[in-house]
Chains A and B, each alone.
Chain A
Amino acid sequence: MKSGFNILLIIFLVCILGDVWAQQPAPAEISAPADTTSRQRETDTLKQKFYPRAIRFGTDILALVKSAVVSGYGAYELNADVDFGKYYLAVDRGRVQRDYTISNGGDYHMNGTYWRVGWDANLLKQDPDRNMIFLGIRYGWASFQETMSISVKDQVFGDHIKDLSNPNVRAAWAELTGGLRIRMWNQIWMGYTARFKFAPSVKGSDAFDTYEIPGYGLRAESLYWGFNYQVFYKIPFKKQK
């Protein structure tokens, strides 16, 4: 399943690159006189003028659907990005609660919050709707608590239950992101964000090994894929200069 997902992702990235290359102007267009179309002038404006044009607020639909469907799972994620032209400042904030029943006895509970901050670069140059195909980077961090009870089977010293708690765990990681933002209607945008997460670090898991990090995933995986399916509402700051 994992390798299948990776193959799909490679196809996805190839599609993105192909799309981006297709948007590059032809050599003849590059050598065209300075008096070009208004669309090309818009491209230049995006590159040169770095100022906040609009803010988008959104949420991850997948987290909400999964919360409703999967037992023992509750999560939401709020997203915001600020349009600086070619670049977007992105901030995510989420909350995750997980409950697992362990097959050999006992249970695991985790809840906490996470943040991600980073930048996205829009690879599309000539789109009047300000659609995005983007690549970006994120720094993520989380603070959470987790409890676990383990059923210890011991014929010699007696079976017993170990109740364990990590009350104040902190974690951090990095991400490379890629995805789409498509204007669907008026100020409504929808999009995907694929996340390649790596370099997780955890502090404060003294009683037992952290199993899951909110916003990251399984602690045992040093490389991890994530996926968000998002809906945004855009609020322009003012008219384009």
Chain B
Amino acid sequence: MRFLFLGLLSLVFSSCLTPPDCLVTATNRLTIHFYKKVVTSSRVSYKDTAMNFLYIKVSGTDSIYYQNATTALVKLPVNTKTGSTTFTLYQPGKSDTIAVTYQARNLMISPECGAYVYYQNLYVPGSSYANVVIASNLLSTSVATNIEVRF
């Protein structure tokens, strides 16, 4: 019996505290995708459509994004110090706004991997676009689209 007891001592030194995998997908970039409504005789569909932007402004910063750019997809930063951000998208002859709110989820993956803030529960309380759909309410590098603007 005592031999069994001593023989199992090696188990004591087996590590049980295996840290989680270091997979970091945290980002504060929100992806907006623009789609144009296509009506055929049989059905209605949406096709991604490039937009001409003079520039895009983000509340809380003086930085300008997508100046004189033509794109169907924009990635814009949300304010990491507040729970809401408003985007103003300037096009020739008009401007539109999209306001978003979100919640921060703070977590440490492991001491070696680091601690990060994930922004989740994305919501659009107001927009000048008529049809705005939330495709994913989590801001993540693995998410292709957060908001779809359909027109």
Contacts and interface: CB of A to CB of B under 8 A. Distances in A.
Interface of A: 1-2, 4-5, 8-9, 12, 15, 19, 62, 100-106, 108, 131, 148, 150-152, 154, 156-158, 160, 162, 164, 180, 182, 184, 190-192, 194, 207-209, 211, 217-218, 220-221, 224-227, 229
B130 interface: no
Contacts of B107: 208-209, 211
B108 A182 contact: no
A223 to B, nearest CB: 11
A157 B79 contact: yes
Contact of A217 (B16, B61, B108): B16
Contact of B113 (A1, A103, A190): A103
Given A156-B61, A164-B106, A180-B5, 19 more contacts: A1-B14, A102-B114, A131-B1, A150-B117, A151-B115, A157-B60, A157-B77, A157-B81, A158-B81, A182-B1, A192-B11, A211-B108, A217-B17, A218-B19, A220-B20, A225-B16, A226-B16, A227-B16, A229-B9
B131 interface: no
Contact of B106 (A12, A150, A182): A150
Contacts of A108: 108, 111, 115
23 contacts: A1-B14, A1-B18, A2-B18, A5-B11, A5-B16, A8-B14, A19-B4, A62-B12, A100-B111, A102-B111, A104-B115, A108-B111, A150-B116, A152-B117, A156-B58, A156-B77, A192-B5, A207-B106, A208-B105, A218-B17, A227-B11, A227-B12, A229-B12
A150 B61 CA distance: 22
B116 to A, nearest CB: 7
Nearest to B80: A154
A182 B77 contact: no
Looking at A101, A102, A226, the one whose CB has the most chain B CB atoms below 10 A away is A102
Contacts of A160: 80-81
A221 B16 CA distance: 11
Given A157-B61, A180-B8, A106 B14 contact: no
Interface residues of B, number: 36
A194 B8 CA distance: 11
Interface of B: 1-2, 4-5, 8-12, 14-20, 28, 58, 60-61, 63, 77, 79-81, 105-108, 111-117
Contacts of B14: 1, 4-5, 8, 227
A191 to B, nearest CB: 8
Nearest to B11: A8
Point out which of B19, B20, B106, B117 has the most chain A C-beta atoms below 10 A from its C-beta.
B106
Contacts of A62: 12
Nearest to A224: B16
Contacts of B117: 150, 152, 162
A184 B6 CA distance: 11
A108 B25 CA distance: 21
B4 A15 contact: yes
Contacts of B20: 218, 220-221
Nearest to A207: B106
A177 B18 CA distance: 20
Contacts of A218: 17, 19-20
